[in-house]
Amino acid sequence: MVPLYGCWGRILEVDLSKKRETVRSVEEGLLRKLLGGVGIAAKIILEEVPADADPLGPENVLVVGTGPFQGTAIPGSGKWIVAAKSPLTGIWGDSCGGGDFAPDLKGTGFDAIVVKGKADSPVYIWVNEGEVQIRDASSIWGKSTSETIEAVKSDLGDKAVKVVCIGPAGEKLVRFACISSGFGFAGRTGLGAVMGSKNLKAIAVRGTKRVDVAEPDKLAERSRELSRRLYENSLEGMRKYGTMLGMQAGQHDDRGYGLKHNWDGGVFEEISKINEERVREITVGEVPCSNCPVACHRHTRVTEPEKYAYDGHGPEYETVAMLGWLTMIADIKAVGYMGHLCNEYGIDTISTGSMIAFTMECYEKGWIDETRLGGVKPVWGDADSAIELIHMIASRRDFGEVLANGIRSAAEFIGRGAKEIIVECKGLDYPAHDPRSYYPTAINYATGVRGACHQRGVTAWVPGGFNIPEWGVLVPNREDRYTMKNAAHIAAKCQDWASFSNSLVQCEFMFWSGLTFRDQVELLNLVTGWGLDAEAVAEISERITTLQRLINVRFGVRRKDDYLSPKMFKPQPSGASAGKVPQPFEEALLEYYRLRGWDENGIPTKEKLESLGLTQEAGYLPNP
């Protein structure tokens, strides 16, 4: 029998309805095709989630998994993935979280956990060195994320147990609820609500098994070398500022992002009040994920004013940009507290910030008033009203019942011109990266496998230095940011690289401290012994992206769903990207389909699927 390296080839299935656990096998041939992580999760979602499944019904399937890098000392291998049909978008949903959960999950002897059905009452799953229990969580239901983690550890009598959980927002099925590991969050697409719909409060693991690798000595040496390089390179970058490096003085102006006033206000004159230096003023320590030399997470503390006092984690760049920049709240203590509230409730800070800004704009236009909002007057720059909206959303109180269903649903409920001012694709709110400042991001957002996303297609990183020369992704000069020439190619390759990284599973932020695509391929070969080159990895990566698109096609996605928000066709009034709009959009979209081997309706052709080794999966194509 050929030895299996990097993975166990075993997946734990827990059926909460039947109160039953089984173990399924994964052959090396499938791992060679899909690696692990989101690749294997996509295969499971395609085959086991019905096309008409209610994302919050027991028929939805939740996959929590790892890849070939977990269980090793590879830098950036502290990540875990979760996937299901998204309750926010109704299509493929996945997210990655950090922290210390992933190595222990892999150490249980399973590569992933698949959760099916729905428990009769609140439960959590406990996997101890491969032994499985479904335990009562009635006394934990209602607790915040940090309280839940401590309660589970107390219940098990072991502080070393690793836990992922939901907060009250997931229990109340807020459609952008997230999953927390303490300071790492699987934030996007609302998969915390999927856990809540299954009455699943948490998953706890303890695992000390170590998976075999093909070249253990070489891998250990290379991991040490890379860790030293990444640490040294990050001292004046990610390690110093964390993800707030993205808001470093001058960079936001150079990029030409126009988030102010819900994406149409141009330059934000008060951004220096919420930049990286202001976050450093409330930082009390750096917090690394497992096997991370960069430590981009932050432990922050605010003691005054009392109304914003907290002791917790964050805020990250996206949190500050979406809760502060977008809403014009120029107070880092208030923004930090807002992020902390989101973390404790268990809701995505990107979608929450988007929802608050949308509500402020609707209020400004007179489409909703304080009577409907329970007395709250959400005006631009007002942190206290924004904080009250967070409480309303997370608890589904008053108008929060409407907002908790997501930006697209809220716009439909409000009516008038609300659909014209939401900034989303397929129901997923834009992150804090403006496609008007780099046109390939427009194609990426429109076609992204989980909706508008900067991490399932890292085009927004390219102007800042991200590159894959082996795939023709190079850093552009300023004038080349504003052209659709080659945008389709860049978007496709950046999406494929994200599929690759999230199937390994490795933190994408390692690139900002000097990791290269060549390093990743080398590490994969040292783990697996497969001897892959850049061309072979390109095919695997495209296969995984295409598989996710096939899932979306099965869930109803067509060309009409690959759109750009109307606000993105309106130029910013000021800043480096003033006057710019990503055109010609439709021509670039069709070029993207052509490069992908999809038809003009955005459906992968049978021939393309077969060329990628997805002959069996082609059976899920819609009838002609």
Query: Hey, what CATH class is 430-620 in?
Result: mainly alpha
Q: Where are the domains of the chain?
A: 10-206, 243-422, 430-620
pLDDT of residue 250: 55
Percent of the chain with pLDDT strictly greater than 70: 99
Cβ contact 423:430 at 8 Å: yes
Alpha-carbon separation of residue 415 from 24, 358, 420, 576, 587 (angstroms): 48, 13, 10, 33, 31
pLDDT of residue 118: 99
As given in the structure block, the two tokens for residue 479 are 């004038």
Write out the H or E segment, with its range, that includes residue 164: strand 162-165
∠ CA 514-520-526, nearest 5°, is 130
**In this structure, are strands 123-128 and 112-116 parallel, antiparallel, or unpaired?**
unpaired
Q: Could you tell me the strand order of the sheet in which 200-206 lies?
A: 131-136, 123-128, 200-206, 162-165, 179-180, 185-186
Cβ contact 178:348 at 8 Å: yes
**Mean pLDDT calculated for residue range 280-287:** 95
How far is the C-alpha of 337 from the C-alpha of 272, rounded, in Å?
Answer: 18
Can the peptide bond before residue 63 be classed as cis, meaning omega within 30 degrees of 0? no
As given in the structure block, the two tokens for residue 453 are 């996303």
Phi and psi angles of residue 164, each rounded to the nearest 5 degrees, phi first: -120, 145
Which of 184, 232, 227, 210 is CA-nearest to residue 74? 227
How far is the C-alpha of 378 from the C-alpha of 382, rounded, in Å?
Answer: 7
**Mean pLDDT calculated for residue range 195-204:** 99
pLDDT of residue 257: 87
Which of the following CATH numbers is that of domain 243-422: 3.40.50.300, 3.40.640.10, 1.10.1370.30, 1.10.569.10? 1.10.569.10
pLDDT of residue 570: 97
Can the peptide bond before residue 582 be classed as cis, meaning omega within 30 degrees of 0? no
pLDDT of residue 313: 94
Phi and psi angles of residue 185, each rounded to the nearest 5 degrees, phi first: -130, 130
User: Is the pTM higher than 0.85?
Assistant: yes
**pLDDT tens digits for 52-63?**
999 999 999 999
- Where does 269-367 show beta strands of DSSP type E? 283-287, 297-302, 310-313
As given in the structure block, the two tokens for residue 518 are 């060549």
Which DSSP string corresponds to 493-508?
A: HHHHHHHHHHHHT--G
Alpha-carbon separation of residue 544 from 116, 124, 498, 499, 609 (angstroms): 23, 31, 10, 6, 11
**pLDDT tens digits for 102-159?**
999 999 999 999 999 999 999 999 999 999 999 999 999 999 999 999 999 999 999 9
Write out the H or E segment, with its range, that includes residue 528: helix 517-528
Quick check: 29 pLDDT over 90?
Answer: yes
Q: Could you tell me the strand order of the sheet in which 310-313 lies?
A: 283-287, 297-302, 310-313
**pLDDT tens digits for 285-314?**
999 999 999 999 999 999 999 999 999 999
**pLDDT tens digits for 414-432?**
999 999 999 999 999 999 9
Largest CA distance in the chain: 70
| Number of Cα atoms under 13 Å in the Cβ half of residue 496 | 27
Give the mean pLDDT of the chain. 96
Cβ contact 12:105 at 8 Å: no
**Which long-range CB contacts under 8 A does 553-556 form with residues at least 24 apart?**
553/602, 553/603, 553/604, 553/620, 553/621, 553/622, 554/46, 554/51, 554/620, 554/622, 555/51, 555/85, 555/90, 555/91, 555/92, 556/51, 556/90, 556/91
Fold of 10-206: Aldehyde Ferredoxin Oxidoreductase;  A, domain 1 (3.60.9)
Write out the H or E segment, with its range, that includes residue 82: strand 80-85
366: left (phi over 0), alpha (psi -120 to 50) or beta: left
pLDDT of residue 62: 99
